[in-house]
Amino acid sequence: MKKQFWVYGLLTLIAFSSWLIADRIMPKPEVFPSTASHRPDSFSEQFTKTVMNLDGTPKHKLTAESMIHFRDDKSTELKKPIFVFFDDDQPPWTVRSDTGLVSSNGKSILLGGNVFINRPAAPGVRRIDIITKNLTVKPKANTAETEEFAELTSRSNRISGTGLDVNFGQIKKVTLHSNVRGKYEKP
């Protein structure tokens, strides 16, 4: 009986050792995270969204070559977005960029890549052009900001600096944060 117990123990030990060795040398199947959750649930080509004031006049308008909305994080990707802030008594401000990403709550839009801000000239109003990158627009606050380099040109005047805040609301204001340099010429 002792001899049989010893043989069964040895066979069990061999079987267990074989299982351990096989487990270590056999390739394990790769486990990939599910990408099913980050799928678009809607899209549009030549997308346009206009927000109106209480009196029925346009407040601001967002257009893009394409718009893709994602269900999982409720974000929206934009291709070649153009954001326009309208003003009753002055020309509108137009903000263009390569890409855009609208936050899930819609309170901010990150305009990625090269950004161009423009307000055309009108009687009593100078033309303004601003070049920067990676601008965050907050439509409800009528503001935009970036920590990137920005350059403002108006007529023959040129101002540049790092960091930019723009207020498109009732009080128009452009602020450069640091390393500000300017070149002013009489017209």
Q: Average pLDDT for residues 115-121, to the nearest whole number?
A: 95
Q: Where are the alpha helices (DSSP H) in the chain?
A: 2-25
Task: Tell me what pLDDT residue 13 has.
Answer: 65
Q: Which residue has the higher pLDDT, 123 or 22?
A: 123
- The residues spanned by each domain of the chain are 40-183
Compute the mean pLDDT over every residue in the chain, rounded to the nearest whole number.
85
Q: Which two tokens stand for residue 55?
A: 């009196």
Question: According to the model, what pLDDT value does residue 176 have?
Answer: 93
Count helices and strands (H / E) in the chain. 1, 10
pLDDT for residue 7: 66
Over residues 45-79, the pLDDT tens digits come to 999 999 998 998 999 999 999 999 888 888 889 99
Please give the helix or strand (H or E) that residue 174 lies within, else none: strand 173-183
CA 146 to chain CA centroid, Å, is: 12
Tokens of 25: 């040398």
Task: With cut-offs at 50, 70 and 90, classify the pLDDT of residue 6.
Answer: low
pLDDT digits (tens, 9 = 90+) for 33-42: 545 577 878 8
Task: Tell the burial category of 103 from Cβ atoms under 10 Å away from its Cβ (0-12, 13-18, 19+).
Answer: middle
pLDDT given for residue 32 in this prediction: 45
pLDDT score for 87 = 86
Report if pTM > 0.85: no
pLDDT tens profile 77-102: 999 999 999 987 889 999 999 999 99
CATH superfamily of 40-183: Lipopolysaccharide (LPS) transport protein A like domain (2.60.450.10)
Reduce the DSSP state of residue 169 to 3 states and report it.
coil
Reply yes or no on whether the pLDDT at 20 is more than 90. Answer: no
